[in-house]
Amino acid sequence: MKQFLIAASLAVFAVGAVQAAGGPAPKKTGIEGEGYVWNAEGGEKNEALTLKGDLKKGKEVYEICGACHLPSGAGRPDGTFPQLAGQHSTVLIKQMADIRAGLRDNPTMYPFAATMTDAQDLADVSAYIESLCVPVDHGKYDEADKMLQIAKGRTLYKKECQECHGDNGEGVKDKFYPVIAGQHYAYLLRQMTEIRDGHRRNANPDMVKIISKYSDKDLVAISAYQSSLKMPGSMCK
C-alpha cells in the first residue's frame, strides 16, 4: 500500500512538473545529427560546471530524486533506476543538462529534472550525489555461467574499455567518463545496447565507434564484468 501511494504521488507530481515546464523537452539533434558536438561549450551545462556546489542545498534538491534513486543514491538492483552515488559531478551535470535540453531522451526523468530552477541547482545536487559513497550491494549478473561471462567480459573490458573507465571502474572526472563501479548489471547492459543501436543520442562518439562492433553476447559479458568492479575506499554497505 505504501509503495502504491508513493508511486501515485510521483505520477501526480510528474504530470504537474511537465505542465509547469510547458511539456516535454524538444528533441534536439543528437549524436548523428549535423552540427551536433558531444560536449559543446556554452549553455546551462558549462555554467553549472563553473559553480561551486553547496552540499546542504544539494541534499534538499535531491529529496525528489531519492524517490526513485533512493536516499542513498543506490538506485534499483533491477536496473530500472541507475546507481548515482559517487558519480562524478561533471557526468551528472552533463546528463541532467542534456535531458533538460532535449539531447538525451528520458521521459521518466525529464519532469523531475525540469523542476530544477537553474544551473546552481544542477551544481548543488551533483556535488551532493558525488559525496555519497558507492554501495557495495547492487544488481549483478547472476546466472549459471557467471564466472565464464565475467572472464570473457574482463578480456573485452581490458582491451577497449579500461583506458577510459579505469582499472576499477572509477572513470575520469575532467573527461566526463563516468564511474561504473557499483552500477547495476541490467542498467549497464541497457545503456550499452542503446548506445550501440543509436538510441542514446548524447553518447560519446568515441564510445559509439568502439561499441558498435559488439554482439549482444559481448555486451552481456562486458556488463557482467563491469558490475563486478569495486573502487577501493569509495564503496560502502
Instruction: Please give the distance of CA 218 from its chain centroid, rounded to a whole number.
Output: 21
Task: Give percent of the chain above pLDDT 90.
Answer: 82
Over residues 19-48, mean pLDDT: 75
Integer angstrom CA distances of residue 104 from 56, 198, 201, 220: 28, 12, 6, 23
Predicted confidence at residue 36, as pLDDT, reads 76
Predicted confidence at residue 23, as pLDDT, reads 60
CA–CA separation, 195 and 32 (whole Å): 12
Residue 40 binned pLDDT confidence (cut-offs 50, 70, 90): confident
* % helix, strand, coil for the chain, step of 5: 50, 5, 45
Predicted confidence at residue 25, as pLDDT, reads 63
Going along the chain from its start, the domains and CATH numbers come out as 2-135 (1.10.760.10), 146-236 (1.10.760.10)
Contact 107, 95 (CB under 8 A): no
172 pairs with which residues across the strands?
177
The C-alpha cell at 58 is 544539494
Exposed, middle or buried: residue 78 (CB in 10 Å: 0-12, 13-18, 19+)? exposed
pLDDT in tens, 45-65: 999 999 999 999 999 999 999
Least confident of 31-45, 95-109, 147-161, 170-184: 31-45
pLDDT in tens, 114-142: 999 999 999 999 999 999 999 999 999 99
pLDDT in tens, 149-208: 999 999 999 999 999 999 999 999 999 999 999 999 999 999 999 999 999 999 999 999
CA–CA separation, 236 and 150 (whole Å): 22
Exposed, middle or buried: residue 87 (CB in 10 Å: 0-12, 13-18, 19+)? buried
